[in-house]
Amino acid sequence: MNPHQDSVKLRKIKHTHDPISHQKSPSKNDPFSRKSKKMKKSDEMKDEKEYPLLRFDELPEYMKDNEFILNYYRADWPLKQAFFSLFHWHNETLNVWTHLIGFVVFVGLTIANMMHVPQVTEFLNILTWSFPLNQGASASNYSIMDTPKLIDLRHGSPLDLDIDAPLMAATRWPFFVFLAGAMFCLLSSSTCHLFGCHSHHLNLKLLQLDYVGIAVMIITSFFPPIYYIFQCNPLWQFIYLGGVTTMGIFTIMTLLSPKLSSGKYRSFRAVLFMAMGLFGLIPSVHACILKWDEPQRNATLIYESVMALSYLTGTMFYVTRIPERWLPGWFDLAGHSHQIFHCFVIMGALAHYGAAQLFINSWGQAGCQ
């Protein structure tokens, strides 16, 4: 065998054992290669797919709630796209943001109260006006009684009251129960409006969560006034707190029915919530009789009246669907009834926060004589 033949033979052997040389480069006619490229392109198109905003008549039945809002609906969106729609305009944008901002505010208030940051906990001072808190109060309650002392909400608050040292530290858990209820309500509402466009099943569950949040907020709102005002009357504490809690549980169980989550039961749901709120008239009248001579009475009544008026006004907008029923399509993005309802809920919750501060710093520290 000559050298040339040996060289050819060695090259053949090397080529046979070289794994790289046996790998086939993708061919344009390779069906597997074409399929892989097609799948990759399909995935990219799916990720980049735009989900258009729909008209009311294009919606699936489960999303047809307010026929006076005609455009800018999301329907059957993936969770990822639903989440990022938080930063785009559609007819739920302000519904999400109103209560999301409210949730952040109450988280801040809760942390500030836990860490005892008075500059933050008294941020309601910007809402102005002065209350005559201790005019006519007895010397046994306050150390400085020479002249009527005003609490100006622009420069001070109930936390600035000059209370005698012997007064005990107030029990604060009822106050934090209210804050927790407010945060739960606001967060569940924002979550419902943000992700309710995903699917029929999730939409139903989130609506139920939203209604439960409203009921929880109503229940927990009763804890500060009833606990602090009736702290020397434990029987009435038990009767009123037990009564409103029982009514709230009944309301929640009723609202968990899928049938009652539909739009046609809007008025019925509103009646249930109003019934829970009106139950509060009984302990309120009792408290006025019990604390009629207290100097904090007027300030407390103002705060609680603002709260009640805010909730009732918001409920009126929610039920009547004003103003969009007057001009369908004009308020699709901003100004429709549900957004107005959300704003009044925030106002009512903040008013009740102010009242709760009065409860703690007036009756919560006084103890029983």
- The whole-chain average pLDDT of the chain stands at 78
Collect all residues with Cβ–Cβ distance below 8 Å to 192 and sequence separation of at least 6: 206, 207, 209, 210
pTM: 0.75
- Written as six digits, the tokens of 177 are 């129960």
336 is in an annotated binding site: no
- Written as six digits, the tokens of 8 are 């050819």
**Digit-coded pLDDT (tens) for 261-320:** 766 777 888 888 888 878 888 888 888 888 777 777 778 888 888 888 999 899 899 989
Lowest mean pLDDT among 76-85, 103-112, 202-211, 271-280: 271-280
Answer yes or no: is pLDDT of 347 > 80.
yes
| 303 vs 363, higher pLDDT | 303
Neighbours of 247 (CB within 10 A): 17
Q: What is the pLDDT of residue 154?
A: 36
342 is in an annotated binding site: yes
Lowest mean pLDDT among 70-84, 284-298, 314-328, 346-360: 284-298
C-alpha 22 chain-centroid distance: 64
Extents of the domains making up the chain: 114-160+167-364
| 262 vs 22, higher pLDDT | 262
| 165 vs 4, higher pLDDT | 4
- Written as six digits, the tokens of 280 are 């509060």
Answer yes or no: is pLDDT of 55 > 90.
yes
Task: Label residues 336-350 b or e (16+ Cβ within 10 Å = b).
Answer: bbbbbbbbbbbbbbb
Over range 161-186, report the average pLDDT. 76
Over range 16-21, report the average pLDDT. 48
| 249 vs 369, higher pLDDT | 249
| 158 vs 175, higher pLDDT | 175
Lowest mean pLDDT among 27-36, 148-157, 181-190, 234-243: 148-157
| 175 vs 366, higher pLDDT | 175
CB distance 138 to 336 below 8 Å: no
Q: What is the pLDDT of residue 258?
A: 77
Q: What is the pLDDT of residue 141?
A: 39
15 is in an annotated binding site: no
